[in-house]
Amino acid sequence: MSRVTGNIVQPILVRVILVLAALWVIPIWLAIVAGTKTNSEYASTGIFEFGTSVEWINFGMFFVAPFNFGLNILNSLTISVGAVLVSLVIAFPVSYAISIGRHRLRGVVLAVCILIFLLPLESVAFPIYLYSKMIGMYGNQGFMILTLGITGSAFATFLLSNVMRHVPADIVDAAHIDGAGRWVTLTRVVWPLMLPTVLTVALLLYVFNWNEYLLSLLLLPDSSSYTVPIAISAVDYGQRGGAPGQLVAAGAVLGSLPSLIIFLFFQRTLVRGITAGASSG
Amino acid sequence: MTHQRRGYGWFLYPGFLVLVIFFGSMFVWNIGISFLKWPGYGPAKWIGFDNYVHLFDKPEFWESWTHALFYVVPFALLPALIGLALASIVYEAFRGTISRALVPFARAGFFLPQIVPISVAGLIWLWMLDSLSVTWLAEPIPALLVLSAFMFWLQMGFAFVVYLAGFSRLEPALLEAASLDGAGWWHRLRYISGPAVWPETSVILVFLGVGALKVFAPVYYLTGGGPYDSTISPATYAVTSFFGGRSVGFASAVSTVLALVILIAVVTVLTISTRLRRSNR
């Protein structure tokens, strides 16, 4: 294929693309550079220059009062993981019924899931907020987990059922002939086969949940119940004359670190999930 | 195979009903609130379509929709176009064994903004613009342009990654043959690889186009809709009306209009694309 683009053009193109990709990372890179500087270094050096050493205290100060960032991370972890479990508990049996069972409501279920996924969350968020107050669950983490979990189950059903469709009918038939009921077929045959896809979906939902902002904004009012994205956006900056720049940068790095780590380890899985959703749509 | 279609209701209905009842009731509730004159507490008064009449008189409402239509360009069209071009270059140019190993780096770079919480990304951009002494966010048109750049930066990676996966379906020999026949990069994209990834294009355009109309977080966390409402979107208008405590009924009317517009847009696009597909056969 090197003949296609020509031997001279190709290395240039490769470099251009890599430079562009690097450009895309620059904002986050700059935040890392600034977040590791001391206050005086921050004032005296350019934004592309590293400080002489890593100023760990910039990060450390977020873990004590008034920020108590550790608590926000714990909140985000609990909510993200809890909601992923809720989504899977709802989505897996539904996908099983419409993909393996070929339930007659298959088309309806998929249409509803796509619609829920495409409609703005704002068109249900206000009643959810009012409902939480009505039943005394305002600020309750469990309520947030359920809400987020149900929301995510629409996307999970869509993705899971798209992959589950390709489980060969012969395998399911063989299980039935061997006397396995629908429940045993689900737990012993389909679940193990689907495990890689389940993990992909779980990881995607986890990242979505971690980055969720609107429901967190509406349902979790106290700073002690804040999730990471909300806590970070509460680090005032700019017009309101809040924290000094290097601390803002350090906070931003801390806030993106959990997602970045997941991304570095599971890049392929995440991308596979995204593209599976897109190419089967 | 009839035995496969029976008895799966137990797997389908519990989860599906939770999903439908939860979203359905909240959606209907939201529409119900939009007919009320209600500040969010105390007695409510039924006022019929007054909130909507009031809404259509507001210049902010029409501005938010003008912006929403404009955001389709940096949020959907440009990411799709540039994402397609970059993906096709990467697909064709990264062929040698060394270059091939660089693909994950390019992909990771472009995809990174999709992973970071938008509140954090917004904070980083605010901080970065401030460090570079760029004060564009203080003026209406420049603020709109910076916000557009932010949206493009956020969404391009999604289109890029989806297209890259789409290209992997292509037969390399086909492109090679075309280039031997004298077809340049543009012609190969125009007549071979472009049409081949049409399914990806439609998914990206529907998904990101709808995303642009209902955009909330990028606007909320970068400009907050300002300066002077010059960047508000329908979703931020709904949420700020809700939080502003002016009227919960009014906020619900704003979000109901948003949901209806998206519903109509999605149904129209799906109908047209199904018709086109049928007539092409």
CB contact under 8 A, B115 and A263: yes
What is the DSSP-derived secondary structure letter of residue B6? S
d(CA B207, CA B76): 8
Q: CB distance B3–A176 less than 8 Å?
A: yes
Q: Does residue B235 have a pLDDT over 70? A: yes
Q: Least CA distance to A203: which residue of chain B?
A: B115
Name the CA radius of gyration of chain B, rounded.
23
Q: Which residue of A has its CA nearest to B200?
A: A279
Pick A57 or B106 by higher pLDDT: B106
Q: What is the structure's pLDDT at A279?
A: 61
Question: B233 in contact with A at a CB cutoff of 8 Å?
Answer: no
* Closest CB to A31 among B5, B127, B185: B127
Q: Contacts of residue B187 in chain A, CB cutoff 8 Å?
A: none
Among A237-241, B112-116, B133-137, the range with the most confident prediction by mean pLDDT is: B112-116
* Whether A149 and A173 share a structural domain: yes
Q: What is the pLDDT of residues B197-231, one digit of tens each?
A: 888 898 899 999 999 999 999 999 999 887 888 99
Q: Which of B116, B154, B128 has the alpha carbon at shortest distance from A248? A: B128
> Does B163 have pLDDT greater than 50?
yes
SS3 assignment for chain A: CHHHHCCCHHHHHHHHHHHHHHHHHHHHHHHHHHHCCCHHHHHHCCCCCCCCCCCCHHHHHHHCCCCCHHHHHHHHHHHHHHHHHHHHHHHHHHHHHHHHCCCCCHHHHHHHHHHHHHCCCHHHHHHHHHHHHHCCCCCCHHHHHHHHHHHHHHHHHHHHHHHHCCCCHHHHHHHHHCCCCHHHHHHHHHHHHHHHHHHHHHHHHHHHHHHCCHHHHHHCCCCCCCCHHHHHHCCCCHHHCCCCHHHHHHHHHHHHHHHHHHHHHHHHHHHHHHHHHHHCC
What is the pLDDT, as a whole number, of residue A146? 96
Q: What is the pLDDT, as a whole number, of residue A6?
A: 52
Beta bridge partners of B45: B37
How far CA A101 is from CA of A175, A197, A249, B8, B197, in Å, comes to: 13, 19, 51, 6, 31
Are the C-beta atoms of A87 and A152 separated by less than 8 Å?
yes
Q: Which residues of A touch B251 (CB under 8 A)?
A: 126
**Minimal C-alpha gap between A219 and chain B (Å):** 13
The shortest CB-CB distance from A252 to any of B112, B120, B166 is to: B120
Mean pLDDT, chain A cut into blocks of 10 residues (281 residues total): 54 87 91 83 77 79 79 92 96 94 89 91 93 91 95 93 88 88 89 91 90 90 86 65 75 84 83 72 47
Residues A123 and A205 placed together within one structural domain of the fold: yes
What token pair was written down for B202?
């439609």
Q: Which CATH number fits domain B58-280: 3.20.20.300, 1.20.120.10, 1.10.10.10, 1.10.3720.10?
A: 1.10.3720.10
| A169 to chain B, closest Cα gap in Å | 9
At A8, list the tokens: 């001279």
From chain A, the residues in CB contact with B15 under 8 A are 89-91, 93-94, 153, 157
CB B19 within 8 A of CB A90: yes
Selection from A201, A124, A205, A197 nearest residue A167 by Cα: A197
ipTM associated with this complex: 0.88
pLDDT tens by residue, B48-96: 899 999 999 999 999 999 999 999 999 999 999 999 999 988 888 877 7
A44 and A82 both lie in a single domain: no
Cβ within 8 Å, pair A10-B109: no
Quote the pTM value.
Answer: 0.90
Centroid of chain to Cα B172: 32
Characterize the bridge pairing of strands B36-37 and B45-46. Answer: antiparallel
Q: Do A130 and A218 have their domain in common?
A: yes
- Residue window 249-278, chain B: list those with CB within 8 Å of chain A: 251-252, 255-256, 258-259, 262-263, 266
Kindly report the length of chain B. Answer: 281
H or E element at residue B46? strand B45-46
Domain that holds residue A272: 70-227+258-279
Q: How many CB pairs under 8 A join A and B?
A: 305
Residue A265 to residue B194: CA distance in whole angstroms: 32
Angle, helices B140-167 vs A9-35, to 10°: value is 130
pLDDT at B25 over 70: yes
Question: Does residue A163 belong to any structural domain of this protein?
Answer: yes
Q: Is residue A234 part of a domain?
A: no
State both tokens at A67: 């920020």
Same-domain check for residues A31 and A84: no
User: Which residues of chain A make contact with B199, given a CB cutoff of 8 A?
Assistant: 279, 281
Which chain B positions have a beta carbon within 8 Å of A126's beta carbon?
30, 33, 242, 248, 251-252, 255
Return the closest-CA partner of residue A154 out of B27, B155, B110: B27
A104, A122, A182 member nearest B7 (Cβ):
A182
Contact A118 B262 (CB under 8 A): yes
Same domain, A41 and A132: no
Task: Kindly tell me if the per-residue pLDDT of B3 is higher than 50.
Answer: no
**Closest-CA distance of chain B to residue A215, Å:** 11
For B45, list phi and psi in degrees, rounded to 5: -125, 130
User: CA Rg, chain A, in Å?
Assistant: 23
Residue B15 has pLDDT above 60, yes or no: yes
Residue A18 backbone phi and psi in degrees, to 5 = -65, -40
How many domains does the structure of chain A reveal?
A: 2
Q: Do A116 and B125 touch (CB under 8 A)?
A: no
CA distance A118 to chain B (A): 7
What CATH number is attached to the domain comprising A79? 1.10.3720.10
CA geometry: angle B201, B203, B205, nearest 5 deg: 65
| Of residues B107, B113, B126, nearest to A238 (C-beta) | B126
Q: 3-state DSSP call for residue B133?
A: coil
Do residue A187 and residue A275 come from a single domain?
yes
Structure tokens at B219: 């606007």
Assess B173–A contact: CB distance below 8 Å, yes or no. no
Inside any domain, residue A241: no
Indicate whether A111 belongs to any domain: yes
Question: Would residue A211 count as lying in a domain?
Answer: yes
Beta carbons of B160 and B86 less than 8 angstroms apart: yes
Tell me: pLDDT of B1 over 60: no
Dihedral sign for Cα atoms in the order B180, B184, B189, B191: negative
pLDDT at B236: 94
Check CB contact under 8 Å for B3 and A213: no
Contact B113 A24 (CB under 8 A): yes
A118, A211, B75 from B237: Cα distances, Å = 19, 21, 18
Going by pLDDT thresholds of 50, 70 and 90, the confidence category of residue B187 is confident
At residue B2, the pLDDT reads: 42
For A150, which of B5, B19, B120 is closest by C-beta distance?
B19
Contact B11 A281 (CB under 8 A): no
Q: Are residues A89 and A209 in the same domain?
A: yes
Distance from the A127 Cα atom to the nearest Cα atom in chain B, whole angstroms: 6
Q: Are residues A45 and A86 in the same domain?
A: no
Co-location of A110 and A222 in the same domain: yes
Nearest chain B residue to A154 by CA distance is: B19
Q: Same domain for A35 and A156? A: no
- Residue A80: what pLDDT? 94
The residue ranges of every structural domain in chain B are 2-51, 58-280
Neighbours of A221 (CB within 10 A): 12
Q: Are A94 and B236 in contact (CB under 8 A)?
A: no
B172-181's contacts with Cβ under 8 Å and 24+ in sequence apart are B172/A1, B175/A1, B175/A4, B175/B92, B176/A1, B176/A3, B176/A4, B179/A3, B179/A4
- Closest-CA residue of B relative to A215 is B239
Contact B193, B170 (CB under 8 A): yes
**Residue A251, domain member (yes or no):** no
Q: Is B200 on the interface with A (CB under 8 A)?
A: yes
Domain co-membership, A8 together with A119: no
